[in-house]
Chains A and B, each alone.
Chain A
Amino acid sequence: MFSQLFVLSSRGDILVFRDYRGDVDKDTPDIFFKYIKKWKEENGAYPPPAINQDKTHFLYVRRNNLYFVGVTKFNVAPACALEVLGRVAQLCKDYCGVLNEESLRLNFILVYELLDEVLDFGYPQQTNTEILKSYVSNQPVGVVVGSDSSGTKRTLPSTAANKPIAVSLDSMKDQKYEIFVDLLERLTVLVASNGHTLRSHIDGSLVMRSFLGGNAEVHLGLNTDLVIGREERMVRGTGSVVLEDCSFHEKANLTDFDRDRNLSIGAQDGEFTVMKYRVAASDILNPIPFRIFTNIEDGQFPRSLRITVRIKCEMPVKSSGTNIVVRIPVPKTTISVSSEPLGAGSSTEYREPDKMYIWKLKKLEGGNEEQLVMKLNLSEVTKATKKEVNSVSMEFEIPMYICSGLQIRFLRIFEKGRPVSPYRWVRYITHSDSYVFRV
């Protein structure tokens, strides 16, 4: 298995380096980083996660601009190696609060302690945040002391959950007793040029981040008319929410789930995914939250084009999309692009090397629409020029909105059979995954 495991910053600095087997030279971080750099220069992208350099194998994942790298000489299981690296990143996040260069430097001894338990002789041993607590002796240090909120507040800043878990009994006393539950959905939508939706599905996940000290049980209720899988659909008929496929955390207790869609789970400290699901969204995503209309016509002058992009938010009025980014490719022969002035909260940027025009909107409310008019000067216009503007893609997030209609009906916390009331924070959020309109 792993001979070495190290973490590099985005600039190639070694943050953590642990040798497990002593059968590989110590200059591996250098070799690895040079390889990545070269590949990026030549291909403009990151290389695949398994790299063979002279019979030394590097497996890496990138998380928050950090490289988590495993080195081996064996014919290992790469899926296993990458999962381990992903878990190491997750552990660092749980124990350090956030995952970045600074937090790792602040807690590097703690990270070494963790790595000692996670792998032995390169074989993965234990990656459970909760269990590992009993093996570490260092106290985690948070990067930023989050603004302490009093219990009366109804909302918290989104960074509130970015704090380390409590490791010792001492620190547990100071720890705020709270749990964050996120219901996240990522949308994949592909719309043909005639406005017809070719493909749409939702990848959802229910993620908890617990600071309850590890011995609480969380009870959670989902929509009672939830239907899971095609076969169930036949039996139960169409409910309000139909999940194509659904998987749960291995510790989740599902005894009542079939009957009333309630589940419980022993909440260990740190972040974990309770449930993942997939929704084939052709019925549900109707209308889709955003729609884009693109029109390309010849400009006033020879060798110029005029592109009009209109974006419409089709959600109910009370919802709105934020941090919207629209990417419009322009033809290779484009010399310059300009756009007509936009309203407040809108901005544009032209990325010349990628031939990509970027339109950013801070916010777009349900029922509203915005328009961008671009003027392009080109060095050459052929029959195919217009075809190069082939698709417009977008990114966005929609806070407090879930496309599938899935709901958390209740969230109750028990400690040894007795209900307690810690701070419970529930958040719904929808993200774009791959959201593309063909032109």
Chain B
Amino acid sequence: MSDAKYFTTTKKGELAELRADLQGDKRDKKKDAIKKIIANMTVGKDVSSLFPDIVNCMQTDNLELKKLVYLYLMNYAKSQPDLAILAVNTFSKDCEDPNPLIRALAVRTMGCIRVDKITEYLCDPLRKCLKDEDPYVRKTAAVCVAKLHDINSQLVEEQGFLDLLRELLSDSVPMVVANAVASLAEISETSPAAADLGELDTPAINKLLTALNECTEWGQVFILDSISNYHPSEEREAQSICERVTPRLSHANAAVVLSAVKVLMQMMDILPQDSGYLQGLTRKLAPPLVTLLSTEAEIQYVALRNINLIVQKRPEILRDEIKVFFVKYNDPIYVKLEKLDVMIRLCTSQNISSILSELKEYATEVDVDFVRKSVRAIGRCAIKVESSADKCVSTLVDLIQTKVTYVVQEAIVVIKDIFRKYPNQYEGIISTLCQNLDSLDEPDARASMIWILGEYCDRIDEVEEILGSFLEGFQDENPQVQLQLLTAVVKLFLKKPTTTQELVQMVLTKATQDTDNPDLRDRGYIYWRLLSTDPAAAKEVVLAEKPVISEETDLLEPSLLDELLCHISTLASVYHKPPSAFVEGKIPVRKITLDKRPQQSESETTEDQPPEQLSAVSSDTQPTPPQDPQDPGTGDLLGDLLSLDLPSYNAAPPTIGGGGGLAEFDMLSGGIGGLQLGGPLGGGMVTAPPPASMAGLGMDFFSLSAPAPQPNNLVAPKTVWLNSTQGKGLEISGTFARRNGKVFLDATFTNKALGPMSDFAIQFNKNSFGLAPAAQLYVQSPLFPNQPFNTSLELVTGGVVMLMNPLDLLQVAVKNNVGVFYFSCNIPAYTLFVEDGKMDRKVFLSSWKELPSSNEVQKTLSYPLADLDSVKTKLEANNVFIIAERTVGEDMQVLLYVSTKLINGLTVLGELKILRNGQTTLSLKTNAMNVVPLVQSSLDAILSQ
């Protein structure tokens, strides 16, 4: 009797019928009913309502029936967790069954029922099964540990299952060892706590190598994958691992072969690179890889993707096997494309002619993708093997003659690269290219053709007309083509300025005014600016010699390649992406994280882009200084425009205070607003309207980096320190301020004498905080009579410390051509409160308690504090940090606890008791009582602002 009939019934009341059958006592009917239910389950119908009836069928000694019930349970237990509990008893009983098949079945199924409540009942049976006498049960239990870990990792770690699992590594049956290895690998990969489990030591590796020969092919894969994570301590060990792994290369299972290759590639890095052993190993790797290419297409594909990586690192392995990569006409397209890639990687001057004759054939095939890639491959050959360039170019010209549009377009794209690599060698073919202008409808091809036209514009007849005709449809072109057109016309103008003014004017206007594309507009402005300010510089920039393009335009980045090589025979090696790019959450712990280009394809497109774009921008990063004094913002503007593209700029922490950053932004927005560009060659003024989106960009940028508005820290008004009589005509007034975590002396020097003054210098006497000037004093010299000069001098600590009285006294000497003058001033303590003075709450509490009340000084402020919020912001702005705030008592008095730290490391704790009427008492506690008056007056000053 066949099972197909179970799929057919769809009558009404079917469920009721099934239920009746399940509850009946005829075993055959039961079995049939469950088969029907499972058939329904397979096609996605919901039969979960039968759960209780099915659980009732569980207690049976018929293995077939039991399996069916278990299959159902695994599928629906999660949706019926309460009912699933009913199954626990039977499971426990089955785990004791004399038949090992039933014991294994029970423990296997139990692990698949992903219900939390069940897991605790699983522990005891699982522990028994891990030590079962039957290897089939043990190997099933080994996997079950991983299952349990997936549901409840904590439980597994607490119950010591990991140790039991490790013991299984020494089991006498290889199949058990293999499953233990697989379980451990998964657990260590997903759980940080168990990460070191995956690290195997030398004896463990030796055990695995012994088990390797005897276990199933799949077990061999698990074991080899584990070994590939092992780093041998010395060469000899690496070599002995190689010797024991090498025989796996001739296994019929591709998975075993690739895993063995992975281990060998790892070990090869450790072996001395010039040893004969390594060369022997290299020779042994070729035949198995070649054999993989005569397997099923799917495996071939995986093998080819891996080979692609392997030959990038060690091309010598397959250098003589080029012919196996020639495509067969009945290969699936995905295999054909991969073979092409590998062929190019392996091409050398020795085998180039046979490769080229193959590629030529491929280029006339039917499949469009394959043809395109073949044409591209011919170009890559030309770039890679110089001696073949002539042949490649003539092949490409032949292909262009076929007039098949996609062949022509692809050929033009690669010819552009050939021109880059071998400048001034093949212009002869440009006329052939020009015959095909009409058939170019793809942006890549159009952009490449235009690049060629621009680059060789001085040698092409009627190039003005050609470019002009492209310009007519400028708006409809792809941005890539627009950029190329812009550059090409500018090149043309620089080479033939007399006849092309109109053209360049047109393209610049179109690029800057009629477009929404910021890239295009920016480039337009840059050219325009360059041309209008300094045509000679423009020539240097635009017609600069281009950097040589690399031979391998599509090599993976070395660090990515190395990472991928560690992942040979995994999905990463097929996608050519690091695992973090496509695996969620479960990132192996050992892995080196790389912040690299995520995709090969992306890097290819940038490589394929006509190179002008890059060279133009990079030469511009040091812009010619602005010549026009009327427009001081432009120079900065250019710099800023360019830096807009740099993502790091946005990520930079906002600069606070000082206003330096703000000024720049002001300049930027002002610059954009007032941007007026002169027309090229002074041929009439063209006024560029302020581009809306640009301004928007600028604004966004502004708001991103500008600090949120906040009160400035306290700066006292300048007071006169040295009057003109004492200073023989020199008057100095000044103050101290804290900006960006530094102390500054801000002073105004005024010459009240009759003659000019010069040669200013400053010196500090020893002081309480060891302050000293960080740099030379700068005062404009000569300082003319009645001329004031503002200067700002940064101060640092580190000078000689001498306690002064009062503490904040600073004695200063200033020298000029007239003489040396002395004066003294007071440094307000608030300029010495440092930014990292915020104390941890607990530390504060304990310090506050520890300090005796004798160390407490109280003062009642002479003015009421009304607005609590402004009090807090004022304090915080001056590095007096709020630790806690409490409201107490019926009269709602507020208690603010604050801490601050002085530049010399002294900390001061404070309590502000603010009554409802605003009357405030300030208490300060500290070890160093002598700073208290200083801090008290500072806080007074801050709060009274």
Contact = CB atoms under 8 A, between A and B. Distances in A.
B218 interface: yes
Contacts of B294: 203, 276, 278
B39 interface: yes
B290 to A, nearest CB: 8
B361 A390 contact: yes
Contacts of B253: 83
Closest 5 CB pairs of A and B: A434-B328, A80-B255, A384-B402, A124-B218, A49-B298
Interface in B315-330: 323, 326, 328-330
Contacts of B296: 61, 82, 86
Interface stretch (A112-120, A176-184, A365-373): A112-120
Nearest to B292: A79
B218 A393 contact: no
A138 B101 contact: no
B257 to A, nearest CB: 8
A141 B404 contact: no
A382 B42 contact: no
29 contacts: A22-B78, A45-B332, A47-B334, A49-B334, A55-B584, A60-B298, A74-B586, A75-B572, A79-B255, A79-B257, A80-B255, A84-B218, A108-B39, A120-B143, A120-B179, A121-B111, A121-B144, A125-B175, A135-B101, A137-B64, A141-B3, A188-B328, A203-B294, A250-B217, A250-B252, A278-B294, A388-B402, A391-B361, A433-B330
B198 interface: no
Q: At the interface, is chain A mostly helix, strand, loop or mixed?
A: mixed
Interface stretch (B299-307, B386-394, B544-552, B865-873): B299-307
B114 A22 contact: yes
Given A61-B298, A79-B569, A121-B112, 14 more contacts: A15-B42, A49-B298, A55-B583, A60-B298, A77-B255, A78-B302, A79-B257, A82-B296, A83-B299, A108-B6, A121-B144, A273-B252, A384-B401, A390-B365
Interface string A36-49: 00000001011111
A126 B140 CA distance: 12
Interface string A53-65: 0010100110000
Nearest to A356: B366
A46 B331 CA distance: 12
A137 B302 contact: no
A433 B331 CA distance: 9
B582 A57 contact: yes
A422 B95 CA distance: 43
Contacts of A288: none
B287 A138 contact: no
A135 B136 CA distance: 11
Interface residues of B, number: 91
Interface in A101-117: 102, 105-110, 112-113, 116
**Which interface residue of A108, A113, A126 has the most chain B CB atoms within 10 A?**
A108
A268 B165 CA distance: 33
B259 interface: yes
Interface string A347-386: 0000000111000000000000000000000000011100
Nearest to B147: A121
A332 interface: yes
Nearest to A21: B150
B824 interface: no
B225 A77 contact: yes
Interface in B562-592: 567, 569-572, 574-575, 579, 582-584, 586
B329 A434 contact: yes
Interface string B358-396: 000100111101000000000000000000000000000
A436 interface: yes
B334 to A, nearest CB: 4
A324 to B, nearest CB: 15
A123 B108 contact: no
Contact of A125 (B139, B146, B299, B567): B139
Interface of A: 1, 13-17, 19-23, 26, 43, 45-50, 52, 55, 57, 60-61, 73-80, 82-84, 86, 102, 105-110, 112-113, 116, 120-121, 123-128, 135, 137-138, 141, 188, 199, 203, 245, 247, 249-250, 273, 276, 278, 329, 332, 354-356, 382-384, 387-388, 390-391, 393, 433-434, 436, 438
Contacts of B334: 45-49
A48 B584 CA distance: 22
A83 B355 CA distance: 31
- Tell which of A79, A83, A203, A250 has the most Cβ of chain B within 10 Å: A79
B74 interface: yes
Contacts of B570: 75-78
Contacts of B347: none
B793 to A, nearest CB: 58
Contacts of B302: 49-50, 78-79, 82
A388 B218 contact: no
A426 B329 CA distance: 31
A15 B140 CA distance: 27
B616 to A, nearest CB: 37
Contact of A79 (B299, B328, B401, B567): B299
B453 interface: no
A316 B294 CA distance: 29
Given A105-B7, A108-B39, A127-B218, A249 B252 contact: yes
Interface in B33-66: 35, 38-39, 42-44, 63-64
B323 A199 contact: yes
B221 interface: yes
B583 A73 contact: yes
A47 B333 CA distance: 9
Given A78-B302, A199-B326, A73 B584 contact: yes
B403 interface: yes
Contacts of B297: 49
Interface in B86-128: 101, 108, 111-112, 114
B4 interface: yes
B328 A77 contact: no
Contact of A75 (B4, B144, B251, B567): B567
Given A22-B114, A120-B108, A276-B252, A77 B569 contact: yes
A79 B143 contact: no
A14 B42 contact: yes
A83 B571 contact: no
A247 B333 CA distance: 28
Given A22-B114, A82-B299, A250-B251, A121 B583 contact: no
B250 interface: yes
Contact of B287 (A113, A116, A245): A245
A110 B39 CA distance: 12
Contact of B364 (A45, A49, A388): A388
A336 B334 CA distance: 31
Given A199-B326, A245-B287, A247-B252, A329 B366 contact: yes
Contacts of B251: 250
A20 B74 CA distance: 9
A382 B435 CA distance: 15
Contacts of A108: 3, 6, 38-39, 42
Given A43-B369, A75-B579, A78-B570, A434 B35 contact: no
A419 B401 CA distance: 70
Given A75-B583, A78-B302, A390-B361, A106 B255 contact: no
